[in-house]
Amino acid sequence: MTAKGLPVWLMLAEMALLVVAGPLITGVIQKVKARLQSREGAGVLQPYRDLAKLFRKGTVQSDSASGFFRAVPVLVLAATTAAAALVPVLRAGPPAFPLGDALMLLGLLALARFLTAVGALDAGGAFGGMGASREMMVAPLIEPVLMMVVFSSAIFAGTTELRALAAYRGAWTSWIVAWRAADFLGFAAMLVLLPAETGRIPVDNPDTHLELTMLHEGMLLEHSGPGLGCMLLASHTRQIVTLGLVSALFFPVGHTGATGGIGLLAGAGAFALEISLLALFLALVESSYAKLRLFRVPPYLGVGFACALTALALRIL
Amino acid sequence: MDCSVALRRSSLGDARALDSTVRLDRPNDLPAAAAALTLQQSMALATVVATDETASADGDLKVRYVFEPTAPADDRFVTLLVSVDAARPEVPSLTIAIPAANWHEREMRDLFGIVPVGHPDPRPLVVHDGWPAGTFPLRKAFDGSRRVPVHPAQEFPHLVVEGEGVFEIPVGPIHAGIIEPGHFRFSSVGESVLHLDARLFYTHRGLEKRMEGLSPLDAFYVAERICGVCSVAHGLGYCEALEQIAGAAVPPRARLIRSIALELERLYNHVGDVGNVCAGAAFHYGTATGSRLKERLQQANERLAGNRFLRELVIPGGVRLDLSTDVLTPLEVTLREVLSEFDELMGRIEANPSVVDRLDETGVLSHQAALDLAVTGVAARASGIDRDARRDHPHAAFTLANPPRLQVATAAEGDAMARVSVRALEARESVRLIREFIRRLEPGSLRGNLPEPVPGGRIGIAAIESPRGEAVHWLRTDRDGRVERYHLRSPSYHNWPAVALAAETAIIPDFPLVNKSFELCYSCTDR
């Protein structure tokens, strides 16, 4: 930990790294899922190829969409990318110039979700409206619980700034053997929430073509070409940011390594390992379960809420 | 009109001694006669066939209402024949009393211009927006090779539910998946379905018109291609109807091979359909396994008959290819492996609470609704109706002197889980039957004699248990032994209205699951 804190350039480099690596995580999840279904599956680089294809294409837009609709993908991508700047990747420690804390991160993700839903309503399609209404039904059940999980760690570290929090936590201990009950409960809540926040089974199904069943995908139906590319890139980024949040809150092992080039490399390696394990978890869940009936989603997320609430209570008491 | 009138039999072209036709003196006698059959003899509507006989001595249009007994293993068809004045083509509607007649009567109005008086739904069914009024394609005067000008049209009047918070959700006819076209108009409050208006017939190709005037052997190829995944069943149904007319005897070996083909078709459909239901529930393992097993079975089909859909294995008079030991041995290996993997898949579905929870109580079709709509096949059996055309209207190997015993699987719940379970039981029964048929194969000829030309002016009716249920084929030859009129009432034709009904018990995001648990054909319905 340097005395003057993490430089801003490092944080921006981490942001870029997350945005660039986001599609890879999706590719890995897709590949693992395919292998679990005894399929060969597309290569792990397929999401990049899809993005490259989309950014080369033209845009087709609904007649009923307003000018705002065109701005939505850029705004969503901007908000999500900004959130990526707040996640520690290579190094932990109090930043020299704090860009924002975990609440800011969750707020930016919520903003992106809100903009996506408004854009879907703006286009006027039936499926967009349906997807938006379902997403808005699920979102209020996810976001407060995520905040509670963050608070249960933040109370203990005395800061909501993720890099400082990770550093404090790493200094204390980050090994499971030293976890307290609150850590286990918070982590359990996180595992329940992860599929919901990343739009995966059992809450949503990213692979479906069945419009009537869609949540997140339904809101993307009216987008096309570069706009759709931005929305997809934002989804990939949101996924890796959420996984990064879990890593920062519960496993900040790698972030506290030595300074210098080797320390950065070790941090990157540890981060990649953690993210990959979480991605593997998502792929396993997605291959083992069916999607929940829509009205069973609130009770499912309620389990996460109960865990998070208990974790928070244990920290305060 | 009492029951005795309906029992007064006369021979009006029926090729089988079991079948009978009752000619009604006046169209207005129809409701009473139909009530006598349905209420007193508990018969169900099997099909309705209209014919244009204005060129014949009668100079009229005729409508035949074909009924079948609902009691098991009662292989009869009773036809009520109504003569319709060509100048004023009207018949009383049966739809209020017999809901299964709904689409038949609307189709008759669209294609023949015969108006079912008192029908509650004035909207066209088969012909779509822009079709010129007063043009009836199945009238003999209509030239099928001629293009019809498209007239400007109003938007189709879908049934609209009004009220606060009611939304309309239009889906299709173009869908995101590679499936057939159909438009579904949901009226919903929140996620609950209030009403579903399904509009089909986007793939109406006028196949029945196309077959008219063809030699019966040529028309076979059209009948077989009405639908891809029911090729064997539809080809067989046409052949059996034709063989009734021709009085041709199919040799025992050919009947066994026909039944093997029919069960192989059922097997690959049922296995694939269980996988498709998993896609509706987003259970990826099930989807992938279902399509993998279906692919294996279809590749086995290709090795057997040179065609993944087993086309042209069944031909008029018999079968085209022999099944020798060197193709049957690999088939048995495939069946054994597929069956064990399928059992594993069903085990995983039944042991996975997240899947069972999606299927249980989803898309319930009540027993009474299934009876009223004359629903058939898996959907009917899953709602507690013990009907299977293999037993009730024996065909192929089931007409042998010592027919194989068929276990008809039924369930009482009428939900998606019941339909999946019935499908699984039937797939296993199909494997058992195929093995039994193979054991019973004795050397013998593959084709019976089919007289050329086939006798004219006769009617053949065959009911085949296709993968989707009972398909009723109605064929009549003209004076020269050519096809005068052919009509297929596919199982999907009677089952589609049941899907709309079952959907109303579900929420919007469960509709794909409900739909896939019925797994109906569009092209069979549209023809």
Q: What is the pLDDT of residues B111-153, one digit of tens each?
A: 999 999 999 998 999 988 888 888 899 998 888 888 888 888 8
Best of B187, B284, B362 to mutate (most A CBs within 10 Å, chain A): B284
Quickly list DSSP for B219-249: HHHHHHTS-STTHHHHHHHHHHHHHHHHTPP
Burial call B450-486: b when 16+ CB within 10 Å, e when fewer: beeebeeebbbbbbbbbbbbbbbbbbbbeeebbbbbb
Distance CA A205, CA A216 (A): 8
Within an 8 Å CB–CB cutoff, is residue A209 touching chain B?
yes
pLDDT in tens, B350-372: 998 889 988 998 999 999 999 99
DSSP three-state, residue A291: coil
Domains of chain B: total: 2
What spatial distance separates the first Cα and last Cα of chain B, rounded to whole Å?
36
Distance CA B21, CA B77 (A): 8
Find the angle CA(B87)-CA(B92)-CA(B98) to the nearest 5 degrees: 145
Mean pLDDT confidence for A244-257? 76
Mean pLDDT confidence for B76-80? 90
Task: Calculate the alpha carbon distances from A139 to A113, B163, B284, B500 in Å.
Answer: 8, 28, 25, 32
Mean pLDDT confidence for B184-204? 89
Mean pLDDT confidence for A49-55? 95
Q: Would you say residue B315 has pLDDT above 50?
A: yes
Angle, helices B216-224/B231-246, rounded to nearest 10 degrees: 160
What is the pTM (predicted TM-score) of this model?
Answer: 0.86
Query: What is the C-alpha radius of gyration for chain B, rounded to an integer number of angstroms?
Result: 23
Higher pLDDT: B273 or A91? It is B273
Contacts of A289 in chain B (CB under 8 A): 283, 352, 354-355
For A40, the closest chain B residue by CA position comes to B288
DSSP three-state, residue A264: helix
Contacts of A39 in chain B (CB under 8 A): 288
Alpha-carbon distance A41 to nearest alpha carbon in chain B (angstroms): 11
Distance CA A224, CA A206 (A): 17
Mean pLDDT confidence for B502-514? 90
Q: Confidence band (pLDDT; 50, 70, 90) for A271?
A: confident
Boundaries of domain holding A274:
8-316
Q: Do B171 and A213 touch (CB under 8 A)?
A: no
Distance CA A162, CA A100 (A): 9
Give me the residue from A130, A290, A296 closest to B283, CB to CB. Answer: A290
Query: Residue B36 gets which letter from DSSP?
Result: I
Residue A75: inside a domain:
yes
The number of angstroms, rounded, from the C-alpha of B85 to the middle of its chain's C-alpha atoms is 30
Contacts of A136 in chain B (CB under 8 A): none
Within an 8 Å CB–CB cutoff, is residue A208 touching chain B?
yes
What sections of B148-283 are H helices per DSSP? 207-211, 216-224, 231-246, 252-280
Residues B284 and A287: beta-carbon distance below 8 Å: yes
Best of A121, A135, A289 to mutate (most B CBs within 10 Å, chain B): A289
Contacts of A37 in chain B (CB under 8 A): 284-285, 287-289
> What pLDDT does A4 receive?
63
> What pLDDT does A262 receive?
77
Q: Do B507 and A294 touch (CB under 8 A)?
A: yes
Residue A3: inside a domain:
no
Residue A217: inside a domain:
yes
Residue B167: inside a domain:
no
Six token digits for residue A93: 């420690």
Last residue within a domain, chosen from B67, B91, B117: B117
| A13, burial (CB in 10 Å: exposed 0-12, middle 13-18, buried 19+) | middle
Within an 8 Å CB–CB cutoff, is residue A288 touching chain B?
yes
Alpha-carbon distance A97 to nearest alpha carbon in chain B (angstroms): 45
Residue A146: inside a domain:
yes
Give me the residue from B279, B292, B509 closest to A212, CB to CB. Answer: B509
For B508, the closest chain A residue by CA position comes to A212
B470: domain CATH number? Answer: 1.10.645.10
Mean pLDDT confidence for A254-262? 64
Residue B384: inside a domain:
yes
> What pLDDT does B448 receive?
85
Within an 8 Å CB–CB cutoff, is residue A290 touching chain B?
yes
pLDDT in tens, B3-59: 434 444 455 667 777 888 888 888 888 999 899 888 888 899 999 999 998 888 888
> What pLDDT does A173 receive?
57
Quickly list DSSP for A151-220: HHHHHHHT---HHHHHHHHHHH---GGG--HHHHHHHHHHHHHHHHHTT-TTT--TT---GGG-SHHHHH
> What pLDDT does B415 receive?
92
Q: Do A287 and B284 touch (CB under 8 A)?
A: yes
> What pLDDT does A254 receive?
59
For B289, the closest chain A residue by CA position comes to A37
Domains of chain A: total: 1
Residue B296: inside a domain:
yes
Q: Do B507 and A130 touch (CB under 8 A)?
A: no
Residue B186: inside a domain:
no
Last residue within a domain, chosen from B117, B140, B171: B117
> What pLDDT does A302 receive?
92
Q: Do A293 and B507 touch (CB under 8 A)?
A: yes
Contacts of A124 in chain B (CB under 8 A): none
Q: Confidence band (pLDDT; 50, 70, 90) for A309?
A: very high
Last residue within a domain, chosen from B74, B92, B117: B117
Phi, psi dihedrals of residue B426, rounded to the nearest 5°: -70, -35
The number of angstroms, rounded, from the C-alpha of B392 to the middle of its chain's C-alpha atoms is 15
Count of A–B CB contacts within 8 Å?
A: 90
Do residues B91 and B235 both lie within one domain? Answer: no
Residue A2: inside a domain:
no
Q: Would you say residue B453 has pLDDT above 80?
A: yes
When the pLDDT of each residue in chain A is averaged and rounded to a whole number, the result is: 87
Give me the residue from A126, A202, A205 closest to B170, CB to CB. Answer: A126
Share of chain B above pLDDT 90, in %: 52
Phi, psi dihedrals of residue B244, rounded to the nearest 5°: -60, -45
Within an 8 Å CB–CB cutoff, is residue A299 touching chain B?
no
Lowest mean pLDDT, pick from A90-94, A125-129, B304-308, B395-399? A90-94
Q: Confidence band (pLDDT; 50, 70, 90) for B91?
A: very high
Within an 8 Å CB–CB cutoff, is residue A167 touching chain B?
no
Mean pLDDT confidence for B165-184? 86
Query: What is the C-alpha radius of gyration for chain A, rounded to an integer number of angstroms?
Result: 19
Residues B200 and B127: beta-carbon distance below 8 Å: no
Q: Do B282 and A208 touch (CB under 8 A)?
A: yes
Residue B393: inside a domain:
yes
Residue B377: inside a domain:
yes
Q: Would you say residue A177 has pLDDT above 60?
A: yes
Six token digits for residue B326: 């060197």
Q: Do A294 and B191 touch (CB under 8 A)?
A: yes
Give me the residue from A38, A208, A290 closest to B292, CB to CB. Answer: A38
Higher pLDDT: B466 or A95? It is B466
Q: Do B282 and A294 touch (CB under 8 A)?
A: no
Residues B471 and B489: beta-carbon distance below 8 Å: yes
Boundaries of domain holding B43:
3-117
Q: Do B285 and A36 touch (CB under 8 A)?
A: yes
Q: Would you say residue A255 has pLDDT above 60?
A: no
Q: Do A213 and B283 touch (CB under 8 A)?
A: no
When the pLDDT of each residue in chain B is averaged and rounded to a whole number, the result is: 89
Lowest mean pLDDT, pick from A16-25, A53-62, B145-154, B312-321? B145-154
Six token digits for residue B445: 């000829």
Mean pLDDT confidence for A19-30? 94
Share of chain B above pLDDT 70, in %: 97
Phi-psi region at B113: left, alpha or beta (left = phi > 0; alpha = psi -120 to 50): left
Q: Do B284 and A37 touch (CB under 8 A)?
A: yes
Do residues B102 and B246 both lie within one domain? Answer: no
Contacts of B507 in chain A (CB under 8 A): 293-295
Q: Do A210 and B507 touch (CB under 8 A)?
A: no
Contacts of B278 in chain A (CB under 8 A): 290
Nearest Cα to Cα of residue B273 among B526, B524, B527, B515? B515
Q: Which residues contact A233 (CB under 8 A, 6 or more apart)?
A: A19, A22, A23, A51, A77
* Partner residues linked to B374 by β-bridges: none
Q: Do B354 and A287 touch (CB under 8 A)?
A: no
- Write down the ipTM of this complex: 0.80
Q: Do A295 and B507 touch (CB under 8 A)?
A: yes
Within an 8 Å CB–CB cutoff, is residue A293 touching chain B?
yes
